[in-house]
Structure 1
Amino acid sequence: MAPDPSDPSTSPSLARPLVVTADARLLDELLQLAVASCGEVDVAHDAVAARRHWRSASLVVIGVDAASSCVRAKLPYRSDVVLVARVSDGAESADDPAFQAAGALGADHVVVLPAAAAWLTERFGSAGTARRDEAPVIGVIGGRGGAGASVLAAGLAISAARVGRRPMLVDADPLGGGVDLLLGWESTAGLRWPELSAARGRVDVAALYGELPRRGELVVVSWDRGDTLDLPVEAMEATLGAGRRGSDLVVVDLPRHLDEPAVRAAQVADEVLMVVTADIRGCASAARMAAQIGPHCRALRVVVRGPAPGRLRVADVGQALGLPVAGSLRPEPDLAVALEDGEPPAGSGKGPLAEFCERLVAELRTPTAPRQVA
C-alpha cells in the first residue's frame, strides 16, 4: 500500500531524525545535540515504537541499550543508521562487544560519546533538513514456480515508463534466465550483474545509468546467460541505493530461492507482491513462500492470478494465506504467445496485465524531488 501523505511519519517534507533509546541519560545528551543542530527529532524508547518512523526518518540514531531489541524486531534494512554509546557505559571504542549488533542492524557508523559529539551534531544537522525523496521499491515474487512473478515485475516497470515515470527494473533471480530476455532486450548493450558485482557504497547515479541497458525512461539491471556467480550483497545494496536516488520507481524481480542479496532486496522494499495462482496447490506453495519471505518484508500482499479451476475466489486465497490482497489478474490467453513473439509484458497497454499494472503504479507515491539523470 502506498504511504498515506497525511501521516507525518511518511510525509517527505516532515522527515526528521529518529532517536531510539530507553537510556534517559543518553537520550538527554542526544536531544541536546539534535536540538542545537536540527531542531525536532522523533523519539522511540524501543523497537516497537521505532517501527512507525523507521523507514521515513532522515536518520536513525540507536542507543546501544536498544540495539538488541531492534535486531530481534527484524526491522527492515535501511541506510543512515548510527549506533551510539557513552564512555561512561564502559564502551571505550567501536571494538567493544556492546557494538556487536552493529552488523545485524546495518549501521553505517558506530560512535562513542563524548568523543563523537561534534560529528554527531553535524550529522543531525544535515539530516534535519533532508527530504525523503527516494523512489519506492516494489518486490515481486512467485508463490510457486511459474506463477508469473517476472512477467508482473516487467509489466509494472513498463507501465510506469508509459505514464512518464522513470523506472528501474532489477533482476534478482540468478537462475531466471535474465529479465532482459523477457523484455526482448538481450541484444541491448549495457552492463549486467557480472560487471556490477564489484559495486559498493554510494554509486554515482549518472555514471551507472549511462552504462545500463536502457530504452526511453526504463533502465534494467539483469543477469546474462553466462556462468552464475555469487553476487555480493553489497552490490545489491549499492545498485538499489542508486536506483532509489535516480528513479521514480524500482521494481525487483525476486527469486523463490532466497539468497542473501534477495533477502536484502526484500528488506529494502517498501512492499513485496506475491503472485499466487488460484488453485489449492498454488495456495499451499504460497503459504510456504510467505513463511520464508514474510519476516523480511515491511509489507506483503497477494496478487491472485486466474484462472480458478476449482472456483476459488480472490478473497478465499487471501483468507487462506492470512494476507491482504492487492488485486487479481484475469486470465489472458494471448499473453504467452505475445511474450514468445518478443512483445514485452504489458507492452501494448491493453489487457488485464496492463490494466492491473497501471492501477498499481497510479497508487504509488511520486518522489518529491525531480530526477537529475542524463
Structure 2
Amino acid sequence: MAVRIAHNAAPMPGQRRPLVVTADLDLLDDLLRCAAQVNVMMDVAPDAVAAGKWFSGAPMVLVGIDVAEECARASFPRRPGVVLVGRYERPGPPDWPVALDLRAEHVATLPAAEPWLVDRIGRLAGAEARMVAVLGGRGGAGASVLAAGLAVTAARSGMRTLLVDADPLGGGVDLVLGWEELDGLRWPALTQTSGRVSPPALVEVLPQRGELVVLSWDRGGVLGIPAEAMASALDAGRRGQDLVVVDLPRRLDDASVLALGAADRSYLVVPAELRACAAAARVAATAAPHCLSLSVVVRGPAPGGLRGPDVASALGLPLAGVLRPEPGLARGLERGQPPARDGRGPLAVLCRQLLGELGLGAAKAVAS
C-alpha cells in the first residue's frame, strides 16, 4: 500500500487522493488497510499544519479523533467529505462533540464502520472529473474568455463539461457564451436548493447545450456564494462530468478558496503590460497558497514589448502559455458567439494545449 507523507510538501498536480490526518499509528494502519482493500492510495498528514495544503483539494478527508480538536481550531474552509474516525468498541454512538466543530459529514467508529469506510473509499477509485480554475491578474484581463474557451473546446471534443461562474461582480459567463436567454437555474436559486438536490439532479437543472453545462448568475442583486453551495456544485461536477472549469474573482472568498484547493490546475491570466503585472503580483500572492498548481497565461498584445517569459519570471510562476491577439474574438463575443466555437484561432489553439497538458487531449467524437 503506497502513501505519501504530506508534511509541508505541495501535492503534485493531477494526483488527488484521500487525505488521512492522524498521529495515531494504530488508527493509521487500520485506515490504510481499508484503502488497500479497494486499491486506493492515500495521503497522510500527522497534524493540522501538514494537512493545510491538502485539505481543500482531497476528494475525501479522514480526521482521526486524536487530532480532531486541532483540526477544528485550524478553521479549514468548509467542504463536503470530511469523516471523523476513531476506535470505539462500546455499545451506542460515541460522545464526540468535536464532530460539530470539525463540521464532519460523518462519524465512523472502528471496527464497526470498517465495511462502510471500505465502500466509501472504494467509490473514489472510479474516474473523477479534472478541474481547472481561472482568475484574472487585473480587471478585464480575459479570465472569463479563457474559462469559456476551455469549456467550449472540451465540449466540442465530446467531454461532459461544467463551467462555473464564481465571480458575482463579473459580467456573467452566460453573456460570454451568448446563453443569457437559456432556461435553467442560476446561483441565486441554487443557493436555496443545493443542499437538498442530489449531484446528478443538480446538473440536470442548469442551463445546457450539448455536452456543456453552465452555472452562472441572473440579472438580480449581487450575492455571494456560500461555501456549501460551491461545494455542492463542485461535487456534482466531479461525479458526473469529465471537466469542471471555474471562473474565479480576483478577491477571494471562502467559496473561491474551496475551488482553488480542489482544482488540478489554476491559471492566472495577465495582459502583457507593466501595470497588469504589478496588479497580478498581488493576486498571485493571495491565490498561490491555496493552489495545487498556479501558472500564468499571458495575453497579448504587448505595447511595451513584454514577452510571456518576462511576465512569468516577474511573477515567479511557471508560464502555461501565451494568448496571441485575435482580432475577430471581441466582435464575435458582441454577437453572442461563444469563444473558440469553431476550433480555430489562437484561443482555440491555447485551449487545446492546456487541455492536453491535463491529460484531456484525446478527444472523443467531435460534437456536430
TM-score normalised by structure 1 residue count: 0.80
1:283 equivalent to 2:255? Answer no
Question: Which aligned pairs between 1:115-264 and structure 2 lie closer than 5 A?
Answer: 116-128=110-122, 130-201=124-195, 203-264=197-258
Gaps of 5+ in 1: 1-8
Contact 1:17 1:124 in 2 (8 A): no
Structure 2 residue matching 1:284: 3-state secondary structure: helix
Shift of residue 76 of structure 1?
8.7
Alpha-carbon distance between aligned partners in 2 of 1:213 and 1:169, rounded to the nearest angstrom: 10
Which moves more between the two structures, 52-61 or 305-314? 52-61
CA RMSD of aligned residues (A): 3.5
CA distance in 1, matches of 2:57, 2:226: 27
Cα distance 1:289–1:188, how it changes in 2: closer, same or farther (>3 A)? same
State the match for 1:83 in structure 2.
84
Q: Does the 8 Å CA contact 1:203/1:242 hold for their aligned counterparts?
A: no
2:43 maps to 1:46: no
**Which moves more between the two structures, 309-318 or 17-26?**
17-26
SS at match of 2:270: strand
TM-superposed CA distance for 1:136, in Å, is: 1.0
Query: 1:87 Cα shift?
Result: 6.6
Aligned partners of 2:235, 2:129: CA distance in 1, in Å?
10
Query: Which residue in the other structure is 1:61 paired with?
Result: 62
Superposed, which structure 2 residues align to 1:9-48 within 5 Å? 19-28=20-29, 30=31, 34=34, 42=42, 44=44, 46=46
Q: What is the CA–CA distance in structure 1 between the aligned matches of 2:241 and 2:35, rounded to whole Å?
A: 33
The correspondence for 2:310, drawn from 289, 308, 316, is 316
Q: Identify unmatched segments of 5+ residues in structure 2.
A: 1-11
Give the aligned partner of residue 301 of structure 2.
Answer: 307
In structure 2, the CA distance between the partners of 1:73 and 1:136, relative to structure 1 (3 Å rule), is farther
Contact 2:62 2:84 in 1 (8 A): yes
> In 2, distance between residues paired with 1:10 and 1:334?
34
Counterpart residue number, 1:6 = none
Per-residue CA shift, 1:133-170, capped at 9, x if unaligned? 11011111000111000000000000111111111111
Q: Does the 8 Å CA contact 1:190/1:213 hold for their aligned counterparts?
A: yes
2:97 corresponds to which residue? 95
Structure 1 equivalent of residue 266 of structure 2: 272
Give 3-state SS (helix, strand or coil) of 1:169's partner: strand
**1:58, distance to aligned residue in structure 2 (A):** 6.8
Q: CA deviation at 1:349?
A: 1.6
Change in Cα spacing, 1:50 to 1:293, as seen in structure 2 (3 Å) is: closer
Distance 1:265 1:56 in 2: 8
Q: Is residue 213–residue 220 contact of structure 1 (8 Å, CA) maintained in 2?
A: yes
In structure 1, the partner of 2:353 is 359
The percent identity for this pair of structures is 54
Cα separation, 1, equivalents of 2:254 and 2:14? 31
TM-score by length of 2: 0.81
2:164–2:216 Cα contact (<8 Å) kept? yes
Alignment partner of 1:109 is 2:67 = no
1:150 aligns to what SS in structure 2? helix
> 1:265 & 1:40 partners in 2: Cα distance?
23
Query: In 2 relative to 1, CA 290–35 (structure 1 residues): closer, same or farther, beyond 3 Å?
Result: closer
Counterpart-to-counterpart distance in 2, 1:144 and 1:57: 29
Change (3 A) 1:189 1:65: same
Checking the alignment, whether the CA contact within 8 Å between 2:79 and 2:227 is kept in structure 1 is no
How many correspondences in the alignment?
A: 347
CA drift at 1:344: 1.3
Alpha-carbon separation, structure 2, partners of 1:363 and 1:35: 29
Once the two structures are TM-superposed, the CA of residue 57 in structure 1 deviates from its matched residue by 7.1
